Chain A
Amino acid sequence: MEENNSSHSQNESEDPKGSTRRNFLKNIGLAGVGVATGAAALYSGHIFEAKKEVSGDQKVLLTQDGKLVQVDSLEIKAMEKTGEELSESLWREGIPGRRWVMVTDLSKCRNARKCISACQEAHQLRPEQYHMNTLQMQDMPVTAPFNMPKNCQHCDNPPCVAVCPVDATYKRPDGIVLIENDRCIGCRFCMAACPYSARIFNWIEPKDAANHLGQEYNAELNVPQKLGTVSKCLFSADRLREGKLPYCVEACPNGVYYFGDENEDAVTNGTSKETVRLSKLLRDNAGYQLMPELGTKPRVYYLPPKNRLFPFEEAKDQTPENV
């Protein structure tokens, strides 16, 4: 074998002609491949051009992010995804171009708990199940107590999402952390990981489950609630899709909540409907986040409870003793 090889290479070096011929043939081959590729490309381009007909009939359409556009009627194709598949991809994509943000003004909260009831009503929650809960806080013994509405902080670095084994909870590009209860396996790792105790679990049959049997699942509202799965605040993603403020924000009688889009640098007060600059609101009122030292990067900001509008009152618990 080795001998053959060496004699072969000897031949090659002794016969410069043979070598040129081989090179020539090689070049011809290369050129051939090149021509064939080019021809194929041209041909497919031709086919594509031939197919591209224009009807001249322009349709006006509304895109997902609310822009009006013109499209030739022949360009309009049916949705590739339909039904559940479509809604699931919409849930996961979120609302394009938005970065939702919430500002909670602690100086205005008098624990009316209207946000809580509106939320529980919308999400089919039992009285002891909170997506939004008002906590009575006191930083230090010498400082005054105050009410602090607390919901999911929709962290930009969400510990709950990191630990989910099945991608049931995820972070959307519009900032919302969503959970799909038809994917959740009920391991509750996300609840253990959340430092804000923002997540709840359907330990028993959800409220009025029998009444919601046929209801189609909507992850942006997380109803119907499902036994054995986790639930949490969703920033009322279903309302945002309709261009409305979240349930809690709308329900507050005291102007505690501002909600809006960080990209627009604007937030709207749910009670007065006044829209203000987010950056100015936070700057002027020393806005802060809950436990920023944990690196979770919350999307909920708080304005400190100074110059409070109402005296602090001890809240009366209305939840059942044991559930």
Chain B
Amino acid sequence: MDDNKFTIDKITSDLTHHIRINKGFLIWMGVLTASLLVCLYAYSLQLRNGLGVAGIRDYVTWGLYLSNFVFFVAASLIGMLISAVLGLIGMKWLTPITRIAETIAVAFAAVAGLVIVSDMGRPERLLYVFFYGRPQSPILWDVTVIITYFTLSLLLMFLPLIADMAIIHRRVASLPSWLKPVYKVLSLNFTDQPAQNRIINRATRILLILLIPAALSIHTVTSWLFAVTSRAGWDSTIFGPYFVSGAFVAGSAAVVIAMFFFRRNYKLQDYLTDLHFDNMGKVLATVSLVYLYFNINEFLVPGYKLKRGDAIHLQELFAGKDALMFWTVQVGGLILPILFLLFRRFRKPLPILIISVVVLIAAWFKRYLIVIPTQEHPFLPIQHVPQNFVHYSPTLIETLISIAPFILVLMIITLISKFFPVIPLHETAREKGIDHIQFD
């Protein structure tokens, strides 16, 4: 693409024309709100009658809610991979994707906190975690690092927005009138002075570096909720990296899906090009390969020894009750996507969208397979209890409550992308050779 055709006016209008309230937005948010209300009604039933409205019981005590929580934490990790790891390495092509990745990170991390509340038997005692918190408990570590990661991600999203908002509230006439003062306040009087840019760049760099340990921690600690127990299937030393690498797979897929829809709906074809999809395809293939490597370790090593507990667990996964889901997820959601992504033609926008949707769905079921089957075969036999204690099956109310966080994530992403440029404006202008922007 010829960079000369990008003037600041064109870039500004291209990247901000979606910032307005239109019919499509209202319908979409209306549908989301209505669905959310249905789910909230389901949650009110749970609040009134207790967790018994869900299918979880004394043996499978962590069900959809917890596997959902793991999935949400996982998806949020992509902000760190795209912005921090790849960004610090100096990959220039990432610029238009960074804000998408950070939006996903912020949305999923914020909602993950809510998901875990839906799993509490006594949600009104949530603050006890702060009043009586015991630092020995991994839950305390999880709460700490999730709040840290969320804060860092939010700041990281905000810093590049300062310049963007300064440009927009001065140069974009079509900005909704009520949004203008908001932009003015949030732009913090930015006027593109070298000193201001230096501060923002330095702060961003510090945040990027801090983001790496924070992100690694949130998913490692989340994996420890399982790995600190001695149950077969959870009692694993590689759960930390296994979860982290899996998180990158889910997150990369989520970013590709978001890229596709933003590109189409906000007409960003000039900025989110086939090259970006091609590169994201390579990223997705790479992280999937790493995840495959950890999967091989996680299943082959205990499978070779077949200690009693592991033998029962693996038998159920490989050839038992969960075999269909297991192999569909492993082959369809991991091995086949890797094979397809090796070919350039499958890294074009539409094919990679389809692959990413499959990968993301598989990633959700993978969390289910990590959380639930282990609990169905504890060390001691399950006896003299009702049938629904022995086998877990989610109820309708539980499913609705589990859908709510997805709706919330979509709402957050929609709102952020509707009121702020999806692609960093100031940085893009810089990269297109516009060194100084006139502030009128």
Contact = CB atoms under 8 A, between A and B. Distances in A.
Chain A: interface residue count, which band?
Answer: 35 or more
Contacts of A164: 134, 137
A187 B139 contact: yes
A179 interface: no
19 contacts: A135-B384, A137-B381, A162-B228, A183-B125, A185-B122, A185-B129, A188-B61, A192-B62, A192-B375, A193-B228, A197-B59, A199-B58, A201-B51, A203-B50, A203-B52, A204-B50, A315-B384, A322-B388, A323-B57
Interface in B132-179: 132-134, 136-140, 143
A317 B51 contact: no
B51 A203 contact: yes
Contact of B120 (A134, A186, A321): A186
B121 A188 contact: yes
B27 to A, nearest CB: 38
Contacts of A136: 381, 383
Contacts of B132: 166-168, 183
A205 B49 CA distance: 7
A234 B51 CA distance: 24
A238 to B, nearest CB: 23
A43 interface: no
Contact of A191 (B58, B119, B384, B388): B58
Interface string A146-177: 00001000000001001111111000000000
Contacts of B62: 188, 192
A118 to B, nearest CB: 16
Contacts of A187: 119-121, 139
A294 to B, nearest CB: 5
Given A133-B384, A185-B125, A203-B52, A165 B379 contact: no
B139 A163 contact: yes
B61 A191 contact: yes
Given A187-B139, A199-B58, 13 more contacts: A128-B384, A128-B389, A163-B136, A163-B137, A165-B140, A189-B225, A195-B378, A197-B59, A201-B57, A227-B121, A290-B380, A319-B386, A322-B388
A170 to B, nearest CB: 9
Indicate the member of B51, B59, B138 with the most A CB atoms within 10 Å: B51
A271 interface: no
Contacts of A200: 58
A283 to B, nearest CB: 26
Nearest to A150: B380
A290 B230 CA distance: 14
Interface in B169-212: none
B417 to A, nearest CB: 34
B126 interface: yes
A187 B119 CA distance: 7
A185 B120 contact: yes
B22 interface: no
Q: Which of A128, A150, A202 has the most CB of B within 10 A?
A: A128
B137 A165 contact: yes
B208 to A, nearest CB: 31
B282 interface: no
**What secondary structure prevails in chain A residues at the interface with B?**
loop
A201 B230 contact: no
Given A186-B120, A186-B122, A189-B225, A128 B385 contact: yes
A189 B388 contact: no
Which range contains the number of B residues in contact with the other chain? Answer: 35 or more
B50 A227 contact: yes
B386 A184 contact: no
A191 B378 CA distance: 11
Interface string B238-256: 0000000000000000000
A16 interface: no
A200 B52 CA distance: 13
A195 to B, nearest CB: 5
Across chains A and B, which 4 residue pairs bring their CB atoms closest together, nearest first? A186-B121, A228-B121, A203-B52, A204-B52
B33 interface: no
B144 to A, nearest CB: 11
Given A163-B137, A188-B62, A128 B386 contact: yes
Contacts of B140: 165
Nearest to A163: B137
A291 B379 contact: yes
Given A187-B119, A202-B121, A197 B49 contact: no
A130 B58 CA distance: 10
Nearest to A138: B381
Interface string B370-393: 000001001111111111110000
Candidate in A135, A159, A199, A201 with the most chain B CB atoms within 10 angstroms: A201
B328 interface: no
Contacts of A322: 386-388
B384 A319 contact: yes
A196 interface: yes
A321 B387 contact: yes
Contacts of B122: 184-186, 228-229
A189 B139 contact: yes
